[in-house]
Amino acid sequence: MTNDHTPTSSPAAGAGPPEKPSRWAWVLRLLRKKEAGILIALIVLMALISFLKPQFADPDNLSRVCRQVAYTAIVALGVFFVILTGGIDLSVGWTVSLTGVICAWGMGTTAHSYLPLLEWGPLAGVCMGLAAGALVGAFNATVVCYVGVTPFIVTLGSMQMANGLVYVLTRGENILGVPKAFGEVGFGTVVGVPVPVIVLLLLAAAAHVTVTYTAFGRRLYAVGGNEEATRLSGINVRRVKFLAYVLSGLLSAVAGILYVAKFSSGQVDVGKGMELDAIAAAVIGGTSLMGGEGSVLGVLIGAMIMGVIRNGLVVMSVTPYWQQFIIGAIIVLAAVLDYLKSRRR
């Protein structure tokens, strides 16, 4: 996370009077950033859990937390694009399953007997998974942008469609036959860092550059801040929103593919309910559900907070029922804080 942070603070902090450079100036600058509050919350939370249950702070456990967080965070980054425009994407969870299943099928032996062209290894499966994700996104985008239906209901429907498709394709059974090597790469480590975490960090860096330094990114915020004013400024709002939904589908597919590596199979239920964790991570990270506000760093911290709480509750042997309750309560809390923050303006 620190990797991602360095580029944020220096060029973006153009505002404000120049202060006397001191050894601790960077701390002050950090504290003044919007993400400072939740970052402190995360640190306090981790310290608290480590104090109560020292085994939480065990490097193996922390690595496990990061690995678990990576999948949710990747999906959350996708939803983040959509929420920035003032929309929502509920279909991401089942898209993870759908793309995973399609990816696994594309890699599997069954596929080879149908389509000999797929002989060229796991790449075909990956491409098929990504294409499926982009297609789900394009479908959502078409109905939202060109027909004009509310994103909530469109993606609620396409979530069920993706869910249905998963069962149509698999009849409820996980898809096996994924090459062993793919699992070893996709669930392995590079210099000790789990591959999903590396993928997440690369994607987060790319997402950060996109929202901060590209015209498309600027337009995401503008559309979420005032769609009509943006349109009247000569910006093709539909295209901006379209791309956001496609990116959301694509990033879900990345998570789906990484899960295929983790389980060496296409798991039917793996993405079930993930949309809620992803949206919660974005909101906890300061993304406004009204659109136009949020940052990649915030989303990462938000996902981390969700992951730490989940793991912490397990480490502290809280019963699963109470775990669910507590996580729900934290989401409500985050929403309340978001509301208070917007009212103070």
Site residues for other proteins per CB under 8 A = 11, 14-16, 209, 212-215, 218-219, 221-222, 225-226, 228-236, 292-293, 345
Strands, E assignment, the chain: 189-190, 193-194
Q: Is residue 119 within 8 Å of residue 112, measured between CB atoms?
A: yes
Q: Is residue 129 within 8 Å of residue 251, measured between CB atoms?
A: no
Closest CB 292 distance from other proteins, rounded Å: 5
Nearer to other proteins (CB atom), residue 90 or residue 211: 211
- Rounded Cα distance, 248 and 230, in Å: 22
- Residue 23 structure tokens: 């050894």
* Residue partners of 239: CB distance under 8 A and separation at least 6: none
Nearer to other proteins (CB atom), residue 5 or residue 231: 231
Closest CB 83 distance from other proteins, rounded Å: 14
3-state secondary structure of 193: strand
Nearer to other proteins (CB atom), residue 15 or residue 117: 15
Q: Is residue 86 within 8 Å of residue 244, measured between CB atoms?
A: no
Q: Is residue 162 within 8 Å of residue 278, measured between CB atoms?
A: no
Nearer to other proteins (CB atom), residue 61 or residue 226: 226
CB burial of residue 303 (10 Å; 0-12, 13-18, 19+):
buried
Nearer to other proteins (CB atom), residue 59 or residue 234: 234
Closest CB 12 distance from other proteins, rounded Å: 8
Closest CB 210 distance from other proteins, rounded Å: 10
Closest CB 221 distance from other proteins, rounded Å: 7
- Residue 62 structure tokens: 């922390």
3-state secondary structure of 187: coil
Nearer to other proteins (CB atom), residue 12 or residue 52: 12
Query: Which residue from 35, 31, 13, 8 is spatially nearest to 208, judged by alpha carbons?
Result: 8
- Residue 160 structure tokens: 């069920």
- Residue 135 structure tokens: 């297609």
Closest CB 256 distance from other proteins, rounded Å: 29
Q: Is residue 289 within 8 Å of residue 283, measured between CB atoms?
A: yes
- Rounded Cα distance, 4 and 1, in Å: 5
- Residue 302 structure tokens: 């938000």
Mutual orientation of helices 59-84 and 274-284 as an angle, nearest 10°? 80
Nearer to other proteins (CB atom), residue 221 or residue 263: 221
Closest CB 331 distance from other proteins, rounded Å: 23
Nearer to other proteins (CB atom), residue 32 or residue 189: 32
Closest CB 298 distance from other proteins, rounded Å: 15
